[in-house]
Amino acid sequence: MKRFTLVLIVFGCAAFASLRYYQNQLRELENNVEGLHEKLPAEFDSFVKWSASIRPLYEKKRPPEPGDWLEKYPEGGQTFAQYVAFRGKQPVQAEVSTIYVQPFGEFDATQEKIVAQTADFMQRYFGLPVKLLPAQPTGEIPPEFHRIRNRTEQVEANWIMRHRLLPEMPADAVAMIGLVTCDLWEGNFNWVYGFASIGDRVGVWSLHRNGDPHASESARQLCLIRTLKTAVHETGHILGIHHCIAYECCMNGTKSQEENDRKPIEFCPECLPKICWACQTNPADRSQQLGEFAKSVGMKKEARFWNTKYERLHP
């Protein structure tokens, strides 16, 4: 009984320390956001101005619930000013400006449609050309990078990036993403939705944990939204964007399907300027394009949100 009580006390202290760390980091980040205009050259004034105009549309990041990403992995966040300083220069240039999506394995007609819609969405989201490549076989996977866990086939994410994506990286690729239907694991994580490398500009994500798109129309819709979230989240990492702790944002880290479903599909007013600066994308045009996409695939709530944002951003 004493040992059980001690465990509870230790767990409670750790949870309290994690929450206190998160609160302190969030307070510091908010202070940075408030002083953003003082930390950037005048050429960034327009970013600060339009970001402020859409800020009321977003919800500040809620304290993490037990088992959430931030409760387990407290992080410091990243302001727009910090991102600009971190990158040094825009990662997208005339000669390096295309996102490539490379499927591996077999995809049925329903899955192929989700992949095609994801490529379309990414093109609108980042304002960059996206090339969807023909599916390739995964190839022979060394035993140490392939396993069966809980009756589920898994492939190590880093193996796909290192041995299938990097050797085929086109010269004009700002990012190259692998897409698979099998489950993924990486390092100490028993499974991951996706994984990315900033330095190598490659990433991989899986449809496996996004639900059965064949079960019903609502299940297909849910699978699509989950796939879109992973696609832009991992591409954001490739562009150098860290996990967000300032707002409810697609760049929030997630540790479960429940937490992943809670987060929005859009980037927040602190992370969106990072995309628009990095990819040289007009925020109003982007919102209009995304609103049209959301309407075409039946994402009614997201369509209303992007249309409202377009009205705020359109001169």
Chain centre to alpha carbon of residue 57: 20
Which residue reads 């000669």 in tokens?
95
Residues whose CB falls within 8 Å of the CB of residue 257, separated by 6 or more in sequence, listed in order: 209
Q: Of these residues, 71, 186, 234, 266, which one is catalytic?
A: 234
Is 38 a catalytic site residue? no
Residues whose CB falls within 8 Å of the CB of residue 217, separated by 6 or more in sequence, listed in order: none
Task: Pull the structure tokens for residue 247.
Answer: 């707002």
Calculated CA dihedral for residues 93, 253, 114, 282, nearest 10 degrees: -40
Task: Pull the structure tokens for residue 106.
Answer: 């077999």
Residues whose CB falls within 8 Å of the CB of residue 185, separated by 6 or more in sequence, listed in order: 147, 149, 154, 155, 156, 157, 191, 192
User: Which strand ranges, in their side-by-side order, compose the sheet holding 98-103?
Assistant: 130-132, 98-103, 173-180, 202-206, 194-197
- Cβ–Cβ < 8 Å for 250, 233: yes
Residues whose CB falls within 8 Å of the CB of residue 14, separated by 6 or more in sequence, listed in order: none
Residues whose CB falls within 8 Å of the CB of residue 135, separated by 6 or more in sequence, listed in order: 103, 104, 105, 106, 107
The DSSP letter of residue 192 is: E
* DSSP sequence for 209-233: GG--TTS-HHHHHHHHHHHHHHHHH
Q: How far apart are CA 313 and CA 251, in angstroms?
A: 22
Enzyme catalytic residues: 234
